[in-house]
Structure 1
Amino acid sequence: MKTLTCRQLGGPCDLALTGETADDIIKAQDRHLREAVRGGDVAHGPAHEDMKGRWRHPLRAMGWYRETKKAFADLPGA
């Protein structure tokens, strides 16, 4: 298990997101952003819009995805 924070993934807070793979953490970030915005947290709005854009336009988002995968791979741990 490895951990990245919401902030490390482009969000505004330091919530720890843990997963076995980078994709697990990306999905956790997506859920976190959706829930925060649904709960009225306006600080998470821009990151949520960015995330929605990445899901809609995956080819354009490959740079962010590669950076996130590298950040995950560079983390110590299993």
Structure 2
Amino acid sequence: MKTMTCRQLGGPCDLEHRGETADDVINAQDRHLKEAVKAGDAAHQEARDAMRGRWRHPKQSLGWYRDMKKAFADFPEA
């Protein structure tokens, strides 16, 4: 199990996301951003918009995805 924060994934806060894979933490970040914006947290809006853009254009966002998978792989097990 590894941990990455919202900030490490491009967001504005230090909420920790834990997962067995990079996809686990990326999906947790997506849920977190959606919930934060829905609750009225404007600080997360920019990151939410960027995440939504990545889901809509996965080929264009492959670089970000690869970077996050590499960062996840480089983190120690927690």
Q: Structure 2-normalised TM-score?
A: 0.98
Deviation at 1:29, TM superposition (A): 0.1
2:53 maps to what in 1? 53
* Alignment length (residue pairs): 78
CA–CA distance in structure 1, aligned partners of residues 39 and 77 of structure 2 = 33
Deviation at 1:36, TM superposition (A): 0.1
Unaligned runs of 5+ in 2: none
Runs of 4+ in 1 over 6 A off after TM superposition: none
Deviation at 1:4, TM superposition (A): 0.3
The one-character-per-residue Cα deviations of 1:8-34 (angstroms, maximum 9, x if unpaired) are 000000000000000000000000000
User: Percentage identity across aligned positions?
Assistant: 69
1:42 maps to what in 2? 42
The one-character-per-residue Cα deviations of 1:16-68 (angstroms, maximum 9, x if unpaired) are 00000000000000000000000000000000000000000000000000000
1:20 maps to what in 2? 20
CA–CA distance in structure 2, aligned partners of residues 57 and 27 of structure 1 = 16
Q: Structure 1-normalised TM-score?
A: 0.98
CA–CA distance in structure 2, aligned partners of residues 54 and 30 of structure 1 = 11
Any idea what SS the aligned residue of 1:17 has? strand
CA–CA distance in structure 1, aligned partners of residues 76 and 54 of structure 2 = 27
CA–CA distance in structure 2, aligned partners of residues 36 and 67 of structure 1 = 24
